Amino acid sequence: MSDTLERVKKVLQEGFEVDPAKVTPESTLASLGLDSLDTVEVVMQCEDEFGIEIDQESNPSTVGEFVTVIDNRVVHDPHPLVRPARHRAPRVSGRHGLDR
């Protein structure tokens, strides 16, 4: 779980400016300052990072549960998806780029 946790921390730090020192397996995404839209973006970025699709029904409540979902998906699919990265507009400052 350690390598997966470190990669999830990297996604959170780079995409959402979350301090990796605050990310523990017990952390919820909400406790890290992320809302439901951010959570959807985290899932999409982790899908790209790990080359998998995360079941929308899994609905993990903590970072540790999220890591477990990723680990289980990678283990159950020894040939992860090979697909082009999703095109995303560059992230702008502020929540969801709405600061003006």
- What is the distance between the alpha carbons of residues 24 and 18, in angstroms, rounded to a whole number? 12
How big is the CA angle at 32 (ends 27 and 37), to the nearest 5 degrees?
A: 115
Q: Which residues contact 40 (CB under 8 A, 6 or more apart)?
A: none
Q: H helices of 1-100, where?
A: 2-16, 36-50, 63-76
Q: Is 3 a catalytic residue?
A: no
Catalytic residue among 35, 48, 71, 99: 35
**Residues classed as catalytic:** 35
